Each structure stands twice: as structure tokens, then as C-alpha cells.
Amino acid sequence: MQKLSFLVAGTLMAASPAFAEGDIEEGEKTFRKCKACHMVVSDDGEEIVKGGRTGPNLYGVIGRVAGSVEDYRYGKGLEEAAEAEFVWTEEALAAYTADPRGWLADNDFARKSKMSFKLRKGGEDVAAWLASVGPAVEEDASEDGAAEDS
């Protein structure tokens, strides 16, 4: 029941913009900080950004259920987000990258995250860039944060 209330709250949070729209060019530059752990490789194998393998591939993260990359072992918080079928929006990803454990706790998920890095600024830019290089996101997925797993 608690997770259901989170989904409703997540829908309301996604409907009201928490961040200004991100700058795609700045996001590409800022992503350099992320590539130590994350890669961006399309479903057909195109390497958009060659990066580390400590974190999951971020291709298609916007519009995808959190914690759902196959064969990646997530921390307890994102496992709970996956169980709740929470879908990443640009706004939610920007907030998560600023303080992963804080974001998880604020959204009633376990505070355990494998991501200890905090992207203090530019998260909205990185999220906009990731959205621009990923597959098209269905309109209702980006608006309500509760679309089906993609």
C-alpha cells in the first residue's frame, strides 16, 4: 500500500516541473563525470559513449523502469523502485543524481544505493542529453512516470 501511494505522489511530482528544462549540449559535457561508471550503448550495439561497467548502461534510461537493466545487480533502493514499477523521468533522474540515497529515502525506498557519487549540478542537463540519445519515450511515460517497462 505504501508503494501505491508513492506511485501517486510520483505522478504528481512528475506532472509539476521541479527543474528547468535541461541543456542537451551541457549534458553531453557533464556526462564525462558519469562515464567513469556508466556507458551509453544502444540496443543494436552502437557505442554512444564508451564508459565504465560499474554502473548500468544508461541507454534508454528515461522512460524505463528504475532498476531494470538485465544482469545488473542494483542496491536495495532501486530494487524496491523496480518492484513499484517507478519509471524514470528527466526530472526524477536529475534529482536522483544530485543525491541518490536522499532521493531514495524521500520516495519511501530503502536508502541503499550502489551509487555514491553526487552530481551536485547539471543533473537536468545530463537527463536531457540521455533522453536525446535514447529511444523515443511514449508521451504518457514522460508525463505520468508510471508507464510500463520498456
Phi, psi angle pair for 97, to nearest 5°? -65, -25
Amino acid 136: pLDDT: 84
Per-residue pLDDT of the chain (150 residues; tens, 9 = 90+): 444 444 434 433 443 344 458 999 999 999 999 999 999 999 999 999 999 999 999 999 999 999 999 999 999 999 999 999 999 999 999 999 999 999 999 999 999 999 999 999 999 999 999 999 999 876 554 444 444 333
Q: How far apart, in Å, are the Cα atoms of 27 and each of 18, 34, 63, 82, 110?
A: 17, 10, 18, 25, 28
Q: Where are the domains of the chain?
A: 2-144
Torsion of CA 136, 147, 50, 116, to 10 degrees: 150
Fold of 2-144: Cytochrome Bc1 Complex; Chain D, domain 2 (1.10.760)
Q: DSSP state, 147? A: P
